[in-house]
Chains A and B, each alone.
Chain A
Amino acid sequence: MTQTTPDAPVRRQRAQVKVRTLRTDRWWVVPLLTFLALSAFLIYGFWAIFDDSIFVDPYIAPFSSPCLAEATCPEGARLFGWAPIGDWYTLPGGLLILGLPGGFRFTCYYYRKSYYRSFWLSPPACAVQEPHGKYTGESRFPLIIQNIHRYFFYAAIVVGLILAYDAVLALVHKPAGVGTWVLIANAVLINAYTLSCHSCRHITAGRLNHFSRHPLRYKAWTFVSKLNAKHQQLAWASMFSVMGADLYVRLVAKGIIAFPFA
């Protein structure tokens, strides 16, 4: 049997296939599409932070909700009519809050897979050699910080509830508006994505070893596990829905979309 010895380095004893991969399918398509989609999301988010068309009664753009700064929030856009940040703050309001849902997505187990593959090529696809000479993964700084995910989850729950509240307000004030239903669809997808999170699954009951002693938590875990199986789909659907809903509200606010039931 082949043995590892100092004279015969292990690496040499593997099959010395000289190519990066022998895969014959188009393995690069998915990482490329992922790269493009996530880049588009980042670029849109960056633009949205600095765009000030955030409100047209009764719609508030999801990227700017909750609107917290007195100087940048129109009267009707404030959560419960309240702007806790005084008029001393004049930077874009989105800067105050986007770190929370952004951090939730950045540390999300699904998005980690996506961007490790498509941005960092670690690996770009299964059985395709990665270009890096050294790898320590999430075992040390900086990527060990990914373990903060559950705290972003707690924040994302609050943000999801606020988006649902915004959608309900829109429904009350403009039930026939297209924007109302755009916001409702977005709130449903955002909250489904949040609840399908792996940290949520762990917190509900995943950390327990005796499910039978906690029947209610077990039921909750079963429900979250079903959602969790669709976490990837919900991640994409909610990403596009939040981007679409945000853009829709801004276009209405700018008067670019101006049909009667907008």
Chain B
Amino acid sequence: MSYKAKFKVWRGEGGEGRLEDFTVEVNEGEVVLDIIHRLQATQAPDLAVRWNCKAGKCGSCSMEINGKPRLGCMTRMSTFAEDETITVTPMRTFPVIKDLVTDVSFNYQKAREIPSFTPPADVRPGEYRMQQVDVERSQEFRKCIECFMCNNVCHVIRDHEENKAAFAGPRYLMRIAELDMHPYDVADRKEAAQQEHGLGYCNITKCCTEVCPEHIKITDNALIPMKERVVDRRYDPLVWLGNKIFKRSK
């Protein structure tokens, strides 16, 4: 069963632009990315959109559909009413290159600022011994497909551009949590999380979790546990005393 849907799509370069109206055919089983491709094929051949796998695994086609960060390839047209006008815009937190394609290099910059996995100096590769329960928590975070929708929706930088320098965003705070929970990582992630990567900016409003296409519990399983670890290190005199008395390092 096909019908004609009304679309408003952001067109423009470098931030300047406008929403353009389109009426386009929709067929049963299609997703928003299919419709964007049909627009390219029939009405707007120069419409720019980043995409790759069409299976919700590459994280390329992040966009905002009716104001919500979504993957274009995972948003079924059947979730909209046939008479509904669907608005498609680029991710709002990042600079626009063209149309729906944004410059997400902010995220790569933040990734580079986090020191990589740091094992103890006396343990060589091949000597790591750990059990599944020790790494299970971190493995949830490895499901991330780098769609950057969590960083896009986070109001700390979405509504406050000036915070970008001080705040790594949920994606990379989750990376820090992943490393801090690793049984063989010895780098001091807690101080860095708070001082250098802006964990304190997070007010745990959980939008990152709401938009994650991999359903990673970013707030509950990464950000809040990391905040608690920072409390251990910086704000809890009892833990400090316990560490001194029992000579605990971690």
Contact = CB atoms under 8 A, between A and B. Distances in A.
Given A23-B66, A209-B181, A122 B203 contact: yes
A26 interface: no
B16 interface: yes
Given A2-B103, A127-B207, A212-B133, A122 B198 contact: no
A35 interface: no
Interface stretch (B39-47, B50-58, B119-127, B159-167): B159-167
Contacts of A8: 14
A139 B196 CA distance: 11
A126 B134 contact: no
* Consensus secondary structure, chain B interface: mixed
Most interface-central of B155, B220, B235, B236 (chain A CB within 10 A): B155
A15 B163 contact: no
Contacts, number: 169
B150 to A, nearest CB: 10
A80 interface: no
B66 A129 contact: no
A111 to B, nearest CB: 10
A9 B250 CA distance: 43
A10 B103 CA distance: 11
Interface string B219-231: 0100011011111
Given A13-B14, A14-B96, A23 B201 contact: no
B14 A137 contact: no
Interface of B: 10, 12-17, 64, 66-69, 84, 87, 89-90, 92-97, 103, 105, 130-131, 133-134, 153, 155-156, 158-161, 163-164, 180-183, 185, 194, 198, 200-207, 210-211, 220, 224-225, 227-232, 234-236, 250
